[in-house]
Amino acid sequence: MAILGIETSCDETACGIIDLDGNILSNIVASQIETHAPYGGIIPELASRAHIINIHKVVDEAIKMAKLSLSDISAVAVTNGPGLAGSLLVGLNFAKGLASSLNIPLIGVNHLEGHISACFIEENRFNFSKKELFPCISLLISGGHTELILMNDYDSYKLLGQTRDDAVGEAFDKVSRILGLGYPGGPVIEKWAQSAKRKKYNLPKAWLQKDEEFSFSGLKTASKNLAYEKIYNNNLSQEEIKDEISELAYSFQVSVSDVLVTKSTRVAKKYDCTNILVSGGVAANGFIKESFQNKFNGSIFPERKYCTDNGLMIACRGLIDYKKNKFIEPKEINVMPQLNVT
């Protein structure tokens, strides 16, 4: 018996399956990066249409990879927010139909709770028995969210603070566009930063009055101004342009990392927590991960492949509710906009 998880909150159509002991059976993701890259960001209408085309194929492939039949599925877990409304509806309606046709429970999963759950995937298994980790701080960093959350259990959340303006992933994407590097911004900025000589620029860091809050709009603007000063307003050779882009990418990444690490560790000490769970798409950034692990021994990151959106993290979070018999009637489940926090 197994839990099937469906994720369509943004631009990845994904399905993951785990058994009731938490063992990973399959994880299939259909990416839309090539579709949206020419526009420098997600086009919601295109994302929705791609989900409609892909979802049947992705779910079928996940079931085949797991070597199961539909009769082996115990429950369907599906992302019902936050995310793009049109994208969410595709996955939600598919999950409703599947659960109803099989006469099995339906579990609505918050996308952010799914990301947090990915921190507990280790050695091809979802381990939700680590009670010694709590209480802990969860840092969610993605294209749409930058939040610090106090966790007292696997399904107990208290929102401590979040960004006042841009999410950190959004800032990566915008600075990448400024530098002409394309979309998505996170991986390409990390790649360019690796070739920097690390000798030139110090971009600003917004500390704010509260450690629980973030701001990245000023950093984005400063990066834009520096790019025009050093690159676009000068007659540089191609090699000089590449050098300047690398230096700017590195300086931007350092500024982001310093703020995330410093604020998160301060908050962890404030709440007497020995662990920080870092999840979301930006957690895939190797420089940020290394910075955390060098400065805070209790830093926990998912494997890189589980940082970005995937159906397995939804199945994992769904398993927690399944164990507690927290189900929703298909006709009653709708798109949910935010995290279930106290």
CA-to-CA separations, 108 to 18, 42, 45, 237, 251, in angstroms, rounded? 16, 24, 23, 54, 40
Nearest Cα residue to 161 out of 176, 174, 147:
147
The answer, as to whether pTM is greater than 0.75, is yes
Q: How many CB atoms neighbour CB 85 within 10 A?
A: 13
Query: Is there a contact between 320 and 153 (Cβ–Cβ < 8 Å)?
Result: no
Label residues 56-82 b or e (16+ Cβ within 10 Å = b).
eebbeebbeebebeeeebbbbbbbbbb
Query: Is there a contact between 176 and 256 (Cβ–Cβ < 8 Å)?
Result: no
pLDDT digits over 291-339, tens only? 999 999 999 999 999 999 999 999 999 999 999 888 766 555 665 545 4
The answer to whether 2-129+305-332 and 133-302 have equal CATH topology is: yes
Quote the CATH superfamily of domain 133-302: ATPase, nucleotide binding domain (3.30.420.40)
The domain spans of the chain are 2-129+305-332, 133-302
Question: 3-state DSSP helix/strand/coil percent for the chain, to nearest 5?
Answer: 50, 20, 30
pLDDT digits over 63-77, tens only? 999 999 999 999 999
Return the amino acid letter for 116: I
CA-to-CA separations, 248 to 114, 162, 209, 242, 284, in angstroms, rounded? 33, 26, 27, 10, 20
pLDDT digits over 257-278, tens only? 999 999 999 999 999 999 999 9
Residues 113, 273: Cα–Cα separation, whole Å: 19
pLDDT at 41: 83
Structure tokens at 215: 């701001």
CA-to-CA separations, 154 to 113, 146, 305, in angstroms, rounded? 9, 19, 21
% of the chain surpassing 90 pLDDT: 84
Query: Is there a contact between 257 and 216 (Cβ–Cβ < 8 Å)?
Result: no
* CATH number of the domain located at residue range(s) 2-129+305-332 in this protein: 3.30.420.40
